């Protein structure tokens, strides 16, 4: 295929990408990179009510966060620009005039109210609605009168009424519809803006797109676009329609299903590597049991031949698992830097002043337990708190009285304060020796110590936690816990 491959991703500028569009963007990217082709980003913003520069920035953020760099297109430039549809209106207008002149398009003055009546009638008669070509069949004098009146109109494409519209789908095989099923679709709205099905045909041709890879929800659009391309004398690209994403119950994946925007997953602390890996497996399989792929490995392994026809089930637990795999694969300094924004936003640290060495030591202890970066504040907060104020009842050892637990914690404080070296081995030897001296099981003693110095019952391993906290912080917290338990007993 070589450099003749040119693919595009053409999102509407509606903010962060929906995961379905993100998956489509990824597959186009993988195909382009594997074939040495060109990856193009076009902004389809002909719907002015839904388009803004801020929303375009949301789209670009999603691409950049996922690591999908584009070779040509919006902001990158190229010889097929502009790459924003709202800046290509003169090009569309020229093609509209061509279709009107050669009889492949016509003006339609039917009002929305008149069309609504026709749709309701079709619904009552249980038949699909197709525009009855009312304005195409007007007498020449009537048509001329309407043109002179200045009444608003749309422009419709005159769809073929005989034969079939066929194409070979690289995922689904031979696709065919009877031409009689196609409607005379609107190609230019009353406000003069082209519709998606018209503008995309022109852009794909002018930008020399070799492969249109998009979701299966565009299948019908493809059948509608092919006659337009033929009417304009364009060569057709190859088409590949990807399986749709569904919930586990096979319903359409939507906002009620939870996070469906790429930006939402970023905010929830998922790593871009995990999201990309997860999306790649939604509708494609490598043909073996491998599940964890870097972006480079996906480029090497991907093929349209292994894209499934059946809808792909969006299973969040798979993403959670993959995210954990990637978190554990990071170096501690890398994980630390990725965690800093979450910790700073939660007020756990001041990003500009935090002791990076101490932060790395703390994160290193929590790396095995983190499912996502958004959990970092809740699991790391005790490392940075001025005090942890545990509940006195949690300081009472299992099967021991409050008074015995108070005495044990006092002994712990005394013995730890005497240690010459604040390392794992002497700390462990000290505490296990104390447990034996008290006649307690090790776990009976370790839990109230854990609560005293962290305020939590579940933390990383106790001795490693104490080493990271340091002797001063550990002894200060133990002393505060002893005072709290003594006060509680005295009440």
The residues, ordered by sequence, that sit 6+ positions from 264 with a Cβ below 8 Å of its Cβ are 16
The residues, ordered by sequence, that sit 6+ positions from 4 with a Cβ below 8 Å of its Cβ are 37, 210
- SS3 state of residue 421: coil
- SS3 state of residue 304: helix
CB count within 10 Å of CB 360 equals 17
Going 57 to 62 to 65 to 71, the CA torsion angle's sign is negative
Question: Is 434 in contact with 408 (CB distance < 8 Å)?
Answer: yes
* Closest residue by Cα to residue 431 from 415, 447, 448: 415
Tokens 């990271």, residue located: 468
Length of the chain: 491
Please give the backbone phi and psi of residue 348, each rounded to the nearest 5 degrees, phi first: -75, -35
**Strands 105-108 and 6-9, how do they pair?**
unpaired
What is the CA angle 148-90-213, rounded to 5?
Answer: 120
- Residue 459's H or E segment, with its range, is none
Task: Supply the Cα-derived Rg of the chain in whole angstroms.
Answer: 32
Catalytic residue among 255, 393, 398, 441: 255
Cα 208 to Cα 7, 12, 36, 201, 228, distances in angstroms:
9, 20, 15, 11, 16
Going 172 to 173 to 176 to 182, the CA torsion angle's sign is positive
Question: What is residue 237's DSSP assignment?
Answer: P
Cα 35 to Cα 2, 146, 211, distances in angstroms:
6, 53, 12
Question: What is residue 85's DSSP assignment?
Answer: G
Measured distance between the N- and C-terminal CA atoms of the chain, rounded to whole angstroms:
82
Give the tokens for residue 463. 């001795």
Cα 41 to Cα 33, 90, 211, 229, distances in angstroms:
14, 20, 14, 21
Based on the residue annotation, tell me whether 255 is a catalytic residue of this protein. Answer: yes
Going 196 to 87 to 70 to 15, the CA torsion angle's sign is negative
Question: Is 284 in contact with 306 (CB distance < 8 Å)?
Answer: yes
d(CA 212, CA 437): 75
Strand partners, 77: 73
What residues act catalytically? Answer: 255
């Amino acid at each position: 295929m070589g450099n003749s491959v040119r693919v595009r991703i053409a999102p509407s500028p509606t903010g962060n990408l929906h995961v379905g569009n993100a998956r489509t963007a990824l597959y186009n990217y993988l195909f382009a990179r594997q074939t040495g082709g060109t990856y193009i980003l076009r902004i389809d913003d002909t719907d002015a009510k839904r388009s803004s520069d801020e929303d375009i920035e949301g789209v670009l953020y999603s691409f950049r966060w996922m690591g999908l760099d584009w070779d040509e297109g919006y902001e990158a430039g190229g010889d097929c620009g502009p790459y924003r549809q709202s800046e290509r209106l003169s090009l569309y207008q020229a093609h509209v005039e061509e279709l009107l002149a050669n009889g492949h398009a016509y003006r339609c003055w039917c009002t929305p109210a008149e069309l609504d009546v026709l749709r309701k009638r079709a619904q009552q008669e249980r038949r699909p609605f197709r525009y009855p070509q009312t304005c195409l069949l007007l007498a020449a004098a009537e048509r001329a009168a309407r043109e002179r009146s200045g009444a608003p109109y749309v422009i419709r494409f005159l769809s073929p009424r005989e034969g079939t519209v066929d194409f070979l789908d690289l995922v689904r095989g031979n696709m065919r519809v009877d031409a009689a099923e196609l409607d005379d679709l609107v190609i230019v709205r009353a406000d003069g803006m082209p519709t998606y099905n018209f503008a995309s045909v022109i852009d794909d041709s002018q930008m020399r797109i070799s492969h249109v890879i998009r979701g299966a929800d565009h299948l019908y659009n493809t059948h509608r676009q092919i006659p337009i391309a033929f009417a304009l004398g364009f060569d057709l690209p190859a088409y590949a329609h990807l399986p749709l994403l569904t919930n586990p119950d096979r319903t359409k994946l939507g906002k009620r299903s939870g996070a469906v925007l790429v930006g939402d997953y970023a905010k929830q602390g998922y790593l871009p590597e995990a999201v990309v890996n997860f999306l790649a497996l939604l509708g494609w399989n490598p043909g073996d049991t491998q599940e964890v792929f870097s972006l480079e490995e996906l480029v090497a392994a991907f093929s349209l031949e292994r894209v499934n026809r059946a809808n792909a089930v969006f299973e969040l637990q798979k993403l959670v698992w993959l995210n954990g795999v990637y978190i554990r694969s990071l170096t501690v300094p890398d994980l630390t830097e990725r965690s800093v924004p979450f910790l700073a936003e939660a007020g756990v640290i001041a990003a500009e002043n935090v002791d990076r060495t101490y932060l790395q030591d703390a994160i290193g202890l929590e790396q095995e337990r983190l499912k996502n970066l958004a959990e970092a504040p809740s699991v790391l907060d005790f490392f940075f708190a001025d005090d942890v104020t545990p509940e006195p009842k949690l300081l009472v050892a299992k099967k021991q009285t409050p008074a015995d637990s108070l005495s044990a914690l006092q002994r712990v404080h005394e013995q730890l304060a005497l240690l010459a070296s604040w390392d794992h081995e002497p700390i462990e030897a000290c505490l296990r020796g104390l447990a034996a001296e008290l006649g307690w099981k090790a776990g009976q003693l370790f839990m109230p110590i854990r609560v005293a110095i962290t305020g939590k019952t579940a933390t990383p391993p106790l001795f490693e936690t104490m080493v990271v906290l340091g002797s001063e912080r550990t002894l200060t917290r133990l002393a505060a816990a002893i005072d709290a338990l003594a006060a509680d007993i005295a009440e």
